[in-house]
Amino acid sequence: MWAGRGGQRADPPPPVLQLSCLANLAALHGLQGDFALHPPDLLLFYNLTQVKGAECEAFVRRATQGDVELLASLPDQRAALRRTALACLGGPRPRLNSSDLQLLGALVCDMDASSIAAADPHVLQNLRCCRQLTAAQQAALDALLASGRTSLGPPGSWDLEGLQSLGPLAAHVRPGLWRQVPEVLRVVSAWGGRGQAPPHGGLLPRQPAGLRFFASTVAACRAGRLSQRDARRLVTGFLAARAVSSRPKRGTGGRCVRGAVSAATLQDDLFLARYDCAQLRFCLGSRVLRANLDPLLQHPLPAECQRVVKAKLALAYPRGLPEEQLRRITSLVYLYSLAEIRQWTITSRDTVVALLAADVALDNQTEAVMQKFLDHNGTLTGALLVAIGGSRLCWMSPRQIQTIRPSEFRLAGALDISACPQGRKNVLFAKAREAFGSARATAAYYRLMRPYLGGAPAEELWHLAQANVTMDIDTFTGLNPHVLQNLSLNNVTTLLGQNVGDLQRARSHPAISSWLSSLNTSALGELGIDKELAGPAGPGPSPAGAPPSAGPPVYVEEAASSGVLAPPRPRPSASLGSTGSLASSISGDSLGYTRPSPRPGLPLGQLCLGVLWEALGRCPRADRCSLCPRQHGRPPGVPTAGRGPPLWPPVAAAVWTPRSPARTSPEAAAPGPPKSAPPTPGPQGPRCWEVERRPERRP
């Protein structure tokens, strides 16, 4: 984070803005031919029509080592990359073999269900890279695993090693398939206990593999190495197999047969295998619940068990939950109605942050939680707004937004409000104008206002165009669609500047598609867009094409409960290009430094060492090495922390093993003057399906 003038909070440009800008400059200066020297993430944004046929396979192989999720806001570019990859293979194929899958990489995540089912069984390694799977893709995965064609063999022969090799895909195994795994059925139906926690965290000597896998998943969730959502999906499917295969004994209904839940049993990673939701209702006492709420909710409780705990809390606290307990029930908040929330007492900023953190309260619970805080003389500070995120502003009432003082809004700086409805964007734009309208320079004003321009009127955009501001495509697609229709071709080309080529990559966006359809053939020709391509891009080629919906697939959540409110859906990941950065693609002169003359022919790999912004002077300024993976001690194409396929913590930590011993230490990558020699392109790092796994060290 870097600070702007007057104490205003300013963030470095998001990676997508940098990458898109660099890609446009590379095409402008004829540098795409040096793609072997360029970071794989950068290749994702290149003009694919300039890729030569002879270099097609090499280009795609390197590009697919990048994080294709960076193209979330550019579905047309993602689809074009997939079509380019298939063209390298000679066109769509009825069955993709292992070498095809190696080339396609994470683009397999966009394949339809029939292509996944027909592909070589090695497709499992590709699917491990997918952050999301559609319902049809999950069904295809289930069918592929059930067929026994994979290296795991038929489900009846799965062992601990096989379960571990599934990695994050284990969370998508459905109950019907778990019931075919003898290890699972033997474990969950035969293992018992009489209220005493077994030693060693529940793992007894020679415990079956299925039980060990279940326990390791819960342990990873409790330790924070695995999200509650993924762990809950696996646990729910795992326990559903037990519910069908095992029947309760006669006379056990309506009473506790497992023994009272104690603090010791809650430390057992097999707690959920011992106490189903019915037993939890009868065996969990109020005193234990009040004293051990944290360890209980660390377990990935299925939705039914969560409702049991909510009912138990109502009995334990008949006068209402105390505020200190509200901070502990974050996984249960979605179960509470608005009427119940209005009975809470919220006086602390920490309580607001805990309740309104990402994936905790439902969107429509935001206003009720915030109002309880304001009713107790709470103040919406800049730090609080940053902590809860801009998406919560979308669900605050206009009256609540008006209570934010301009000074606090300035301290909050750039907040991502891209998911807000248009009416709320308009309100927030007015608030931003109130906070940032005193900025003297146009460049400084634009950097501060950029996240809020979705509510800007046409006059504001005309002013920015006349001021020579260069707008990125994410900001452009977030403009008010009705206002966008009032912009002329000259207005748009002036606003986008060097980024005008991104219209082609985002042409299926409704706002852009509508604006393009209003242009005649001559105007489209000036933009380099064919009349046939002015509308939304169709689905990729079949059978190895994309799912019918544009963009990446989405998770399929558990079925909504029968309560008043549905379980929270994970927030759609805001594209990195719309995360509320204060910087944008503004000319070097307007940013206060002199733009040097471009150096034609200079390889972009050399520019990445630090001379890129000074040499071309058009891209947002940020950490100079943010696009140079080798400068941070990781091979090109290897995801940084939090990127790439989710590793599966229950087994062991996955380690990226560089294939070259010569790596620059992080200390050596400190910002400084650029080195005189360009970097030597090293060997490719492993892809997400080539991770070498280090065995766990056991005591």
Q: Which residue has the higher pLDDT, 187 or 128?
A: 128
Given the DSSP bridges, would you call strands 654-655 and 2-3 parallel, antiparallel or unpaired? unpaired
Both tokens assigned to 497 = 């500047």
Q: What secondary structure does DSSP assign to 195-213, as a single string?
A: S-PPTGGG--TT--HHHHH
Both tokens assigned to 43 = 């290749």
Task: Write down the pTM of the prediction.
Answer: 0.71
Both tokens assigned to 132 = 């999301």
Nearest to 396 by CA among 384, 414, 383: 384
Both tokens assigned to 122 = 């090695």
pLDDT at 193 over 70: no
Distance CA 495, CA 497 (A): 6
Distance CA 275, CA 256 (A): 10
**pLDDT tens for residues 418-453?**
999 999 999 999 999 999 988 878 888 999 999 999
Residue 697: the pLDDT is: 36
Residue 177: the pLDDT is: 85
Judged by average pLDDT, the poorest of 214-223, 247-256, 489-498 is 247-256
Q: Report the helix count and the strand count for the chain, using DSSP H and E.
A: 37, 4
Q: Which residue has the higher pLDDT, 337 or 634?
A: 337
Q: Which residue has the higher pLDDT, 626 or 466?
A: 466
Neighbours of 70 (CB within 10 A): 23
pLDDT at 566 over 50: no
Both tokens assigned to 174 = 């459905």
Residue 49: the pLDDT is: 86
Distance CA 346, CA 362 (A): 17
Confidence of residue 184 (pLDDT cuts 50, 70, 90): low
Query: Mean pLDDT over residues 682-687, rounded?
Result: 40
C-alpha distances in Å from residue 337, one per residue of 341, 368, 563: 6, 10, 9
Residue 386: the pLDDT is: 94
pLDDT at 561 over 70: no
Nearest to 582 by CA among 17, 2, 13: 13
3 state DSSP class of 9: strand
Distance CA 37, CA 31 (A): 10
Residue 532: the pLDDT is: 56
pLDDT at 590 over 80: no
C-alpha distances in Å from residue 539, one per residue of 63, 236, 241, 544: 21, 34, 37, 10
Stated as kind and residue range, the H or E segment containing 38 is none
Which residues, at least 6 apart from 119, have a Cβ–Cβ distance to it below 8 Å? 95, 96, 101, 108, 111
Distance CA 615, CA 135 (A): 48
pLDDT at 519 over 80: yes
pLDDT at 206 over 80: no
* CA-CA-CA-CA torsion sign (174, 179, 184, 189): positive
Average pLDDT, the chain: 74
Confidence of residue 123 (pLDDT cuts 50, 70, 90): very high
Q: According to the 3-state scheme, what is the secondary structure of 590-654? A: HHCCCCCCCCCCCCHHHHHHHHHHHHHCCCCCCCCCCCCHHHHCCCCCCCCCCCCCCCCCCCCCE
Query: Where on the phi/psi map is residue 206: left (φ > 0), alpha (ψ -120 to 50), or beta?
Result: left
End-to-end CA distance of the chain: 42
Q: What secondary structure does DSSP assign to 492-515, as a single string?
A: HHHHHGGGGGHHHHTTTSHHHHHH
Residue 659: the pLDDT is: 33
C-alpha distances in Å from residue 538, one per residue of 54, 68, 115, 328, 446: 27, 19, 18, 46, 35
pLDDT at 559 over 80: no
Both tokens assigned to 579 = 């995360």
Distance CA 151, CA 158 (A): 10
Helices (H), 376-421: 382-388, 398-402, 406-412
Residue 18: the pLDDT is: 82
Cis amide prior to 543 (ω within 30 degrees): yes
3 state DSSP class of 693: strand
Both tokens assigned to 435 = 């906070």
* CA-CA-CA-CA torsion sign (137, 139, 141, 143): negative
Helices (H), 89-149: 98-104, 113-118, 123-127, 135-147
pLDDT at 276 over 80: yes
What single-letter amino acid sits at 307? R
Query: Mean pLDDT over residues 528-541, rounded?
Result: 52
Find out whether 517 and 494 touch, Cβ atoms under 8 Å.
no
Distance CA 112, CA 82 (A): 13
Query: Highest mean pLDDT range out of 46-50, 378-382, 658-662, 678-682?
Result: 378-382
Percent of the chain with pLDDT over 70: 68
Residue 554: the pLDDT is: 31
Nearest to 13 by CA among 576, 494, 596: 576
**pLDDT tens for residues 319-360?**
999 999 999 999 999 999 999 999 999 999 999 999 998 778
Nearest to 550 by CA among 505, 508, 503, 511: 508
Residue 482: the pLDDT is: 94
Nearest to 635 by CA among 571, 587, 695, 683: 683
Find out whether 136 and 547 touch, Cβ atoms under 8 Å.
yes
Distance CA 545, CA 113 (A): 10
Distance CA 421, CA 229 (A): 27
Distance CA 420, CA 395 (A): 8
Q: According to the 3-state scheme, what is the secondary structure of 338-374? A: HHHHCCCCCCCHHHHHHHHCCCCCCHHHHHHHHHHHH
Residue 152: the pLDDT is: 86
Find out whether 64 and 31 touch, Cβ atoms under 8 Å.
no
**pLDDT tens for residues 52-81?**
888 999 999 999 989 988 888 888 899 999
Neighbours of 446 (CB within 10 A): 24
